[in-house]
Amino acid sequence: MAADHTVRDADIAPVAALIADPTRAAILTALLGGRALAAGELARLAGVSAATASAHLARLLDGGFVTVVRQGRHRYYRLSGPEVAEVLEVLARVSARPPVRSLRQSRQARLLEEARTCYDHLAGKAGVALLEALRGSGCLAGEEVTAEGERLLAGIGVHVAGARATRRRFAPECLDWTERRPHLGGALGAAVTAVLLERGWFRQGAAPRALTLTDEGRSELAALFPSHVTAPWSKELTWQSPVT
Amino acid sequence: MAADHTVRDADIAPVAALIADPTRAAILTALLGGRALAAGELARLAGVSAATASAHLARLLDGGFVTVVRQGRHRYYRLSGPEVAEVLEVLARVSARPPVRSLRQSRQARLLEEARTCYDHLAGKAGVALLEALRGSGCLAGEEVTAEGERLLAGIGVHVAGARATRRRFAPECLDWTERRPHLGGALGAAVTAVLLERGWFRQGAAPRALTLTDEGRSELAALFPSHVTAPWSKELTWQSPVT
DNA sequence: CTATTGCTTCGTCCGGCGGCGAAGGATGGG
DNA sequence: CCCATCCTTCGCCGCCGGACGAAGCAATAG
């Protein structure tokens, strides 16, 4: 998930290396159930000697992937936190990637490409188009809202000052997964998106996180950004959702 | 994010191994910008010879991490899709894990532990408690809603038949990140959560995805599940959000 | 105290992976 | 047609890291 911040140049290689070993991967997936397991049990599950398992557990411990609790002669290991579980789950999802997607899956994927939420702000083609429209119409310069933009956003009910007052970063660009181009994130992105949903310009779609542009939203947005002809709401393209 | 399905026993090790090499990691992060880059450029960026880079790119290609486009003498590589970018971003996030969290971060983390959305259904302590309450009061048996449950859910406005009619899995358990115990996912989980929000029993919280239990929600839920004393809405505990 | 069990540490072996230079296609310019 | 450029394939070397058995600690049982 592309968060508001750009991806830091963290060394992902050593972290990935912790998971890259089949034995450690087996240990980690065994722990993914959430329960704490004894070292011996993990050795058995992974199919290695106690010595080998111990070495692996030491590395996982050092890497912060697991924590250990001593209880009598036993040492119970468990995943150190939900972030670790998340990494494993995301990894498992791409590992299990089916060679060819089912019709339904590709349909949902296309739905998500059109418009979806990224945490709490608009993403997908629509999200990217929105940011471009805001920039193109002079509403947004850098990370700041212009006087022009202040007027336009107030007109549809966005409380810009309120968004600026939060501690959250105001209007960062957020790299879009599917478009690989930025959309509007941060406090402003969330505020704008909230308005888009309140006014019924977008509706919750069929798939989780999917949004669909309503007819009303299409015409209102087209009126709001008349010069932005490449957006999903443009009339020039007699745009139709490509999802059939 | 823990999705509706349980994590398949996919071989995550070989996938992780693709990222585990520093040179490949450098190549991948360079491609994370979304642009397609030529093999030579990637070699330069990663600081290795063309031969070495070529070998790595071949492996990434074989693993489905990147795709290649030939254009004249050049071969442009790019990430094969958003899933790959997601893996890298999640990995980067745990790699950059600060040893000690800032006050604000830990506060937000605790907020998220209480109640949050997982895609479109309730998660966190509240989500786990909800599932336990449903099971404990005989509303849910296995993956099916009992007659009892049908009555209770209809009473608060959940359209159970509607949820059952979708193609989405009906009422799967979804392993909770923070609690490491299941909460209610699937179509039913989404339907119930929608009602909880509509009725104002939960409100959108400060952090993205965070939810807070309202006073009204607390009393209504306590009335709905009188026997479930360990839940966040239980009066017996004079429960207060531990977030100060 | 001694025996047993559970886990870690130590010493050692070996396979595999990453690195490079040189040679071998492929493409485009002149 | 020849050369320059870009990339891949080949062959070789060095070394890291994962495997095990044996020995060393810790803790409980009797």
Q: Between chains, do B7 and A190 touch, taking CB under 8 Å as contact?
A: no
Q: Any idea what the CATH number is for the domain that residue A34 is in?
A: 1.10.10.10
Q: What is the mean pLDDT of residues B226-241?
A: 59
User: Given this model, what pLDDT does residue B91 score?
Assistant: 92
Q: What is the mean pLDDT of residues A49-64?
A: 94
pLDDT digits (tens, 9 = 90+) for A164-212: 988 778 888 877 767 767 789 889 999 999 999 989 999 887 776 788 8
Examine the domain organization and report whether A78 and A118 are in the same domain.
no
Is A73 part of any domain? yes
Examine the domain organization and report whether A182 and A219 are in the same domain.
yes
Higher-confidence position of B100 and B128: B128
What's the order of all strands across the beta sheet hosting B37-38? B37-38, B74-79, B66-71
Out of A12, A22, A94, the one facing B95 most closely (by C-beta) is A12
- pLDDT(B231) > 90: no
Max avg pLDDT among A22-36, B17-31, B113-127, B135-149: B17-31
- pLDDT(A103) > 80: no
pLDDT digits (tens, 9 = 90+) for A124-141: 889 989 998 999 888 998
Does residue B198 belong to the interface with chain A, where contact is any CB pair within 8 Å?
Answer: no
**Which of B5, B15, B100, B105 should be substituted to probe chain A, the one whose Cβ sees the most A Cβ atoms within 10 Å?**
B15
Q: With a 7 Å cutoff on the CB, does A58 touch strand D?
A: no
Mean pLDDT value across chain B: 83
Distance CA B67, CA B82 (A): 12
Provide the token pair at A156.
Answer: 């549809």
Q: With a 7 Å cutoff on the CB, does A70 touch strand C?
A: no
- pLDDT(A34) > 60: yes
Give the nucleotide at minimum CA-to-C1' distance from B56. C18
Mean pLDDT value across chain A: 83
Q: With a 7 Å cutoff on the CB, does A218 touch strand C?
A: no
DSSP output for B88-99: HHHHHHHHT--S
pLDDT band at A97, cuts 50/70/90?
Answer: low
- On whether the CB atoms of residues B70 and B60 are closer than 8 A, the answer is no
Give the nucleotide at minimum CA-to-C1' distance from A61. C8
Nearest CA in chain B to A94: B83
For this complex, say whether ipTM is above 0.95: no
Examine the domain organization and report whether A116 and A218 are in the same domain.
yes
Q: With a 7 Å cutoff on the CB, does B75 touch strand C?
A: no
User: Given this model, what pLDDT does residue A106 score?
Assistant: 63
CA distance B136 to chain A (A): 22
Is A93 part of any domain? no
Out of A9, A83, A91, the one facing B93 most closely (by C-beta) is A83
User: Given this model, what pLDDT does residue A230 score?
Assistant: 67
Is A187 part of any domain? yes
Please name which of B204, B113, B1 lies closest in space to residue A90, comparing C-alpha atoms: B1
Measured between alpha carbons, how far is residue A138 from residues A126, A144, A146, B231 in Å? 18, 11, 7, 50
Is A6 part of any domain? no
Examine the domain organization and report whether A111 and A77 are in the same domain.
no
Examine the domain organization and report whether B70 and B132 are in the same domain.
no
Q: How many domains does chain B have?
A: 2
User: Given this model, what pLDDT does residue B45 score?
Assistant: 93
**Which of B80, B93, B179 should be substituted to probe chain A, the one whose Cβ sees the most A Cβ atoms within 10 Å?**
B93
Examine the domain organization and report whether A47 and A127 are in the same domain.
no
Does residue B47 belong to the interface with chain A, where contact is any CB pair within 8 Å?
Answer: no
- On whether the CB atoms of residues B13 and B188 are closer than 8 A, the answer is no
Counting residues of chain B whose pLDDT is more than 90, the rounded percentage is 43
Nearest CA in chain A to B18: A20
Examine the domain organization and report whether B115 and B42 are in the same domain.
no
Point out the least confidently predicted range of A147-151, A170-174, B130-134, B222-226: A170-174
Distance CA A235, CA A162 (A): 33
Examine the domain organization and report whether B117 and B67 are in the same domain.
no
pLDDT band at B199, cuts 50/70/90?
Answer: very high
pLDDT digits (tens, 9 = 90+) for A70-93: 888 889 999 988 889 889 988 988
- pLDDT(B130) > 50: yes
Is B212 part of any domain? yes
Range of the domain at B41: 12-83
User: Given this model, what pLDDT does residue B126 score?
Assistant: 92
pLDDT digits (tens, 9 = 90+) for B36-74: 899 999 999 999 999 999 999 999 999 999 999 888 889
Its sign, for the CA torsion B94, B34, A233, A158, is positive
**Which of A5, A6, A15 should be substituted to probe chain B, the one whose Cβ sees the most B Cβ atoms within 10 Å?**
A15
Q: What is the mean pLDDT of residues B88-96?
A: 85
Examine the domain organization and report whether B69 and B111 are in the same domain.
no
Examine the domain organization and report whether B28 and B141 are in the same domain.
no
Is A112 part of any domain? yes
Of B32, B55, B83, the position where a domain reaches its end is B83
Its sign, for the CA torsion A123, A128, A134, A135, is positive
Structure letter (DSSP) for residue B33: T
B69 membership: H or E segment, kind and range: strand B66-71
Is B173 part of any domain? yes
Distance CA B237, CA B240 (A): 8
- pLDDT(A48) > 50: yes
User: Given this model, what pLDDT does residue B100 score?
Assistant: 47
Q: Measured between beta carbons, which residues in chain B are less than 8 angstroms from residue A3?
A: 89, 93
Examine the domain organization and report whether B73 and B185 are in the same domain.
no
pLDDT band at B112, cuts 50/70/90?
Answer: confident
Examine the domain organization and report whether A216 and A143 are in the same domain.
yes
- On whether the CB atoms of residues B32 and B82 are closer than 8 A, the answer is no
- On whether the CB atoms of residues B4 and B118 are closer than 8 A, the answer is no
User: Given this model, what pLDDT does residue A114 score?
Assistant: 82
- pLDDT(A95) > 50: yes
Is B195 part of any domain? yes
Q: What is the mean pLDDT of residues B148-159?
A: 94
